[in-house]
Amino acid sequence: MSRIKEFNLPDLGEGLTEGEILAWLVKVGDDIELNQPIVEVETAKAAVEIPAKWAGRVQAIFHPEGSTVEVGVPIIAIDTDPNAGPIEESTTATPASELPTPSAASLAAVQVAPAEGMVEPGLIGGVAPGGRTAVLVGYGPRNAPAKRRPRKGDAPAPAQAAAPVVPAPVAPAPVAPAPGPAVNGNGRVSGPVLAKPPVRKLAKDLGIDLATLTGSGPLGSITREDVQRAATAAPAAAEPLTVAAPAASAASFGADRERRIPVKGVRKLTAENMARSAFTAPHVTEFLTVDVTRAMKALDRLRDRREWRDVRVSPLLLVAKAVLLAVKRHPMVNSTWAGDEIVVKEYVNLGIAAATERGLIVPNIKDAGRLSLRELADAMTDLVQTAKSGKTSPADMSGGTLTITNVGVFGVDTGTPILPPGESAILAFGAVREQPWVHKGKVKPRLVTTLGLSFDHRIIDGELGSKFLRDIGDFLADPEAALLAWT
């Protein structure tokens, strides 16, 4: 077996089909250890760090940062015996497909990269523990690696891996067009454009027309470097054509004042899930405005207790407790539509929606209904700290059964949230504001909030949805009385 081994982009067990290389954590020539993080990849769910499958020395990196790579494609070559002397030219890398699959333990180190600018309290709601997991559901990977159909006229050539990235890359010299075929005005041979799918995708994202480029790759194919060179040169090439406009010229409303953002990763999957949910599950949203003055006073008394002084206590904690108690009284709310049957779940994996720069994630607290109020508070605190430190793994964002989204942290009164796929209800918790309120026959300033409950009308009818929302409101209006009455 060759000492040079190629490491393919793995399927992390979340329906991953491709990933974008955000950052290499090693470089050519570095000595690495087994399970050492070597690359940060953005998948359809989150940004994750992938650990090394072998110890050794980095021999080559096949894809630069910013590349989109399909699962199963080699991304790095590792010399597993760097002290054995020089590598013979005839030595070839051992494909990862011929090697044992990575163990679950080696991939368990995968973690979500930190997301800067996360809204305090870190989440559209706040705070959860070691038992969290996501509503973002991926789709299955292909069963076989993608293959390009041979084009007519292609000369047979040995299979080549993507050009390795070395510390000081030298731009390849352009390949002169072969004599014979007609050449268009852009200096390239007319006919089908030769480019790999990732190159075509990059060109599309950057707004580059491949037909205008001259390829520097084999058989005149267009490489990633050709596209990036064209994208860099485009603004400079346009400068000589710019004509000085009069000071009073009309405002431009063209592409020069527009910005295009590629839709990928978490945002792409969120968009697909939200569109599928909105047009699959018949949504109904109900609203309830509640006087939560007593609940806020109860939180103040709780914070003053000695055993709670080091615990993070927020209004979201009481909302979460209210939801869990209401689920016990109305278990059908915690269910999933499964075509010819409804699956009612006897456990509650309570999701807390989190806004990050990469998009929406929903880590959840596993079996939250079994937790005491103190355990629930600790779990929510752990969820926030884990998200802030960038350690929320894809596994921590799956399996949610019911979700809370705290739009109140943005100063919003309420909303009509869209159901996460596979769930039948989601609660929007609005801002708590001081408002005039009729209390004991007199108008007084009271602390008031508005709740918005969206639910799947295939499972939850108006009566059930209304009772569930009313119970949540009753708990928040007088938590002590509700606990005495329901427990």
Active site residues: 457
Distance (Å, whole) CA 215 – CA 225:
9
Long-range CB pairs of 94-98, under 8 A, 24+ apart, other chains included: 94/1, 94/2, 94/4, 94/5, 94/6, 95/6, 95/8, 96/5, 96/6, 96/7, 96/8, 96/53, 97/8, 97/72
**Lookup: tokens for 69:** 């790579």
Query: What is the H or E stretch that residue 405 is in?
Result: strand 402-405
Decide the pairing of beta strands 74-79 and 4-8.
antiparallel
Decide the pairing of beta strands 342-344 and 364-365.
unpaired
Question: From the CA atom positions of the chain, what is the Rg in Å?
Answer: 28
Say if CB 78 and CB 30 are below 8 A apart.
no
DSSP reduced 3-state for 21: strand
Beta-bridged to residue 77, according to DSSP, are 6, 60
Distance (Å, whole) CA 402 – CA 352:
9
Distance (Å, whole) CA 471 – CA 288:
11
**Lookup: tokens for 393:** 């793994």
87 burial (CB, 10 Å; 0-12 / 13-18 / 19+) is middle
Distance (Å, whole) CA 75 – CA 89:
20
**Lookup: tokens for 147:** 């293959």
Q: How far is the CA of 442 from the CAs of 72, 90, 436, 437, 446, in angstroms? A: 69, 91, 10, 8, 11
211: DSSP letter: G
Q: Report how many helices (DSSP H) and strands (DSSP E) the chain contains, helices first.
A: 9, 19
Neighbouring C-beta atoms of residue 239, cutoff 10 Å? 7
Of residues 80, 44, 87, 64, the one with CA closest to residue 169: 64
